Amino acid sequence: MTQQHIEAVCGRPAAADPYETGSVPVERSVWSLDHTPPAYRRLDADLEADIVVVGAGVVGASLSLHLAEQGVDTVLIDAAQPADAASGRNAGHVQPYLLSLEPLEALPGKGRPLLDCLIENRNIVFDLCARHAIDADQVHSGLLEVARKKSPELETKAQRWAALGLEVEILGPERLRPLLGTERYVSGTLWRNGGCVNPFLFTNGMVGAAIDQGARVYGDSPALACERHGGRWKLRTASGSVLADRVVLCTNGHVGAGFHPQLARTQFPLLACGLATRPLPQALLELINPTRVALSQHPAGLYPMVVDGKGRLITATIPGVGRAHRSDIHFRYFLRHLRRVHPEVGNLRIELETYWTGMTHNSSAVYERAYPKFYRVEEGVFALMNFGSWGNQLGPMMGMDVARALAADRPDNAVLGCERPAEVRFPGLFSTKLRRFLIPAARLADRFDLV
Ligand SMILES: Cc1cc2nc3c(=O)[nH]c(=O)nc-3n(C[C@H](O)[C@H](O)[C@H](O)COP(=O)(O)OP(=O)(O)OC[C@H]3O[C@@H](n4cnc5c(N)ncnc54)[C@H](O)[C@@H]3O)c2cc1C
């Protein structure tokens, strides 16, 4: 497939490259291809509420739903429409564990409340879908991390989490072969509480459920200012405002926001890209991944993969510098990987359906000491953000937990604690390191089949 053909499918990169900023239209994302959720109207009135939530990604949607469920009068506004940003563009993996337990030490109760919350809500995505009749093409098929060598690191991690209460198994080649139709991997851990979800539908589903519980939702309404108003806060948009006791910013990076701009420097932004093939024949899917388990590879993780309900293969990665718009390159890498793992794919015609990019903030996959944060920005203004590549699972979970803490008027009781925003040093350094050096090095190793 040529770049020309791909541009015909995915569009030509514009001068100010929206691929590089993660702002190509969300319609490019595979998750929105077959769906047109409701469009919420602009806020054009002066409203009052107990809490106004800014940002209708997976985090703000869950927070609003759980606040409304507890009888808190909630308004949710978004600069665009729900799941327009990272939550509509991700790789669809539901990952029920944390990479590192180290940061727990710094949390309230040495992280025990967070751990308890993680274990108790280990199936939260699937539970929420069931409870609110959300059809998000979710599959509770498990998340499988595979390795080409026996990996003591994977095994230790699995044992630790199993002891804590997650359902996780260590698999050898004989169990992996029927699951993945390949002899390539000798070791794997199957996290049974994980799986895959269409994050665009999931987020939109939670927004719909929040409305059912009484929340009011507005789209196309960027928050422009957040000002003190007596003992309350007034959040202004271009054509309206919300006067509320509390404001919670769930804006992920908060980049470009004129109010509380320091929040944009609390994390390490990173560009990621995703692509999807056209639907594959059922016979081939039966061979490659009959159970639709969500896949990731250890240690490099260059080709995470899920299969959607239509039989498309979906993967995501980090583009090298200057390569964000190069769907041809990323598709070629993926095909090479697929043919290596499944030689029987051979010369079968597999076509790219769509390619997109998006921004994540704190890639916990690499920067594993960075957990999501619940900030007290001012008295009455909070922020829940920095979910890295863990938003699908931790987003709904922390949204639920913070809703519980705020509804009880005890923000400090959130399992993440509630801290003042602290700026990180050199926020751009992480992306540079990864996109300029680590990813190109991993690609080189991959080319020679060394990882
Ligand atoms: C390519 C890619 C692959 C990924 N893969 C995975 C994965 O497999 N599994 C996983 O768990 N995570 C994954 N992630 C990360 C995951 O998508 C994020 O952690 C998660 O979506 C963050 O959710 P959020 O609600 O914090 O932010 P977002 O989804 O970014 O939502 C923030 C919202 O705030 C709104 N907003 C911003 N500023 C304003 C303003 N001033 N006024 C009003 N609204 C505003 C935006 O319009 C947006 O809708 C991936 C991310 C990317 C980009």
Q: Inform me whether the pLDDT recorded for 225 exceeds 50.
A: yes
* Shortest-distance atom of ligand 1 to CA 254: 38
Q: Ligand 1 test: best mutation among 252, 259, 385, most atoms within 8 Å of CB?
A: 252
Once rounded to an integer, what is the mean pLDDT over residues 96-113? 90
Taking CA 84 as the corner, what is the angle to CA 142 and CA 89, rounded to the nearest 5 degrees?
35
Say which residues have a Cβ less than 8 Å from residue 436's Cβ, sequence separation at least 6: 320, 321
Given this model, what pLDDT does residue 10 score?
41
Q: What would you report as the CA-atom Rg of the chain, rounded to the nearest whole angstrom?
A: 21
Average pLDDT over residues 273-290: 94
Q: What is the pLDDT of residues 329-376, one digit of tens each?
A: 999 999 999 999 999 888 889 999 999 999 998 754 445 567 899 999
Q: Ligand 1 in contact with 316 (CB < 6 A)?
A: yes
Which atom of ligand 1 is closest in space to residue 60's alpha carbon? 25
Percent of the chain at pLDDT > 70 equals 95
The first and second tokens of residue 111, run together, are 């992280």
Residue 41 has pLDDT above 50, yes or no: yes
How far is the C-alpha of 191 from the C-alpha of 132, rounded, in Å? Answer: 24
What's the pLDDT score for residue 368? 53
- Mutation test of ligand 1: which of 24, 78, 431 has the most ligand atoms closer than 8 Å to its C-beta? 78
Largest CA distance in the chain: 69
Which of 449, 442, 388 minimizes the C-alpha distance to 95?
388
Nearest atom within ligand 1 for CA of residue 237:
42
Q: What is the pLDDT of residue 366?
A: 46
Nearest to 410 by CA among 372, 370, 374: 374
Q: What is the DSSP string of 3-55?
A: HHHHHHHH-PPPSS-HHHHT-S-GGGSGGGTT--PPPPPP--SEEEEEEEEE-
Is residue 181's pLDDT more than 70? Answer: yes
**CA separation (Å) from 94 to 57, 124, 145?**
15, 10, 12
pTM over 0.85: yes
When pLDDT is cut at 50, 70 and 90, the band that residue 397 belongs to is very high
Residue 305 — φ and ψ, nearest 5°? -150, 135
pLDDT over 50 at 253, yes or no: yes
Distance 254 CA to ligand 1 centre (A): 11
Å from CA of 358 to ligand 1 middle: 8
What is the structure's pLDDT at 130?
98
Averaged pLDDT for residues 10-37: 84
Question: What is the whole-number distance in angstroms between the Cα of residue 117 and the centre of ligand 1?
Answer: 22
- Separation of 330 CA from ligand 1 center, angstroms? 22
